[in-house]
Amino acid sequence: MIKVSKQFIEFGFVNAAILAAMVVYLILRFGYLNEQIPLWYTLPWGQDQLAVKSSIFVIPIVAILITIGGFVAAMISKKEFIAAILVLEMAI
């Protein structure tokens, strides 16, 4: 059985609240976005950086996947110190 500390659960709720706030904010502000938004800043300046506005949801989806992966890794970890580092890192 995996031992889950109180701090682990608290950080889980904080992370879930931040992610939920991000998604709700994007949904509420979605109508105000232009049809194309700059999203790919690693590409050369101009038309290449633009994406359709629905691509903005890539950001919270990736954040959710990273958070879930971090929690799974922390729960699998046998060492409490490594699990604590993983959970704290996800809050950043």
Position 1 scores a pLDDT of 41
Q: What is the DSSP letter of 46?
A: S
Q: How far apart are CA 9 and CA 3, in angstroms?
A: 11
pLDDT-derived band at 82, boundaries 50, 70, 90 = low
pTM over 0.75: no
Position 30 scores a pLDDT of 93
pLDDT in tens, 13-51: 888 898 999 999 999 999 999 999 888 888 888 888 999
Q: Are 38 and 50 in contact (CB under 8 A)?
A: yes
pLDDT in tens, 65-79: 888 887 777 777 766
Q: How far apart are CA 63 and CA 84, in angstroms?
A: 19
